Amino acid sequence: MAIRQIRVEGDEILTKKCRDVKEITPRLEELIGDMIETMHDADGVGLAAPQVGVLRRIAVVDVGEGPIILVNPEVIEADGEQTGQEGCLSVPGKAGIVTRPNHVKVKALNEKMEEIEVEGEELLARALVHEIDHLQGHMYTEIVEGDLFEVRYAEEDEEDDSEAK
């Protein structure tokens, strides 16, 4: 596995629609492993294939309960509403306020092309719809309420601490 370079906003690939996956080839298997590693390395809760330059309908999500692999995911139910802070690994150091459904059900395939259903509330629901939006070429910055603001991540604080010692 390897850490891949994350494309940032302004890169045209982030505005393109992804193609469905028909079979998991060794290359896609490697991609999925790399995406999980890249997401964890960047302290993100989700990553979509176009963010590492691949226009295929694959996303990974991990809100702290272990990685979920989503191949060809589709939202099949969405209800409720949550308004809160959202960020994106492709918009580093920034966040904004976005309203999302508070509960979603997603149908997808896993890395073995088996059908799965993932149900999520709050952060998991937000991460699922955010990543599925990426597969359609959409970014949260298109629906942000107000301006983006700067954020500091915990990891940066830790680094600051170690420098101070």
CB of 22 to Zn ion, least distance (A): 25
Using CB under 5 A as the binding criterion, the count of chain residues that bind Zn ion stands at 1
Structure tokens at 11: 């890169």
Residues sharing a CB contact under 8 Å with residue 162, sequence separation 6 or more, in sequence order: none
CB of 103 to Zn ion, least distance (A): 20
Q: Report the residue number whose CB is nearest to Zn ion.
A: 88
Q: How far is the C-alpha of 149 from the C-alpha of 142, rounded, in Å? A: 15
Which of the following is catalytic: 119, 131, 142, 156? 131
Q: Are 130 and 106 in contact (CB under 8 A)?
A: no
Binding to Zn ion in span 79-98, by CB under 5 A: 88
Q: Which residue's CB is nearer to Zn ion, number 54 or number 115?
A: 54
117 catalytic per annotation: no
Q: Counting contacts by CB under 5 A, is residue 14 touching Zn ion?
A: no
Q: Which residue's CB is nearer to Zn ion, number 48 or number 109?
A: 48
CB of 13 to Zn ion, least distance (A): 13
Sheet holding 82-87, edge to edge: 82-87, 94-100, 145-150
Q: Which residue's CB is nearer to Zn ion, number 88 or number 98?
A: 88
What sign does the dihedral 91-96-98-102 (CA atoms) show?
positive
Q: Are 98 and 71 in contact (CB under 8 A)?
A: no
Q: Provide the annotated active-site residues.
A: 131
Residues in touch with Zn ion (CB under 5 A)? 88
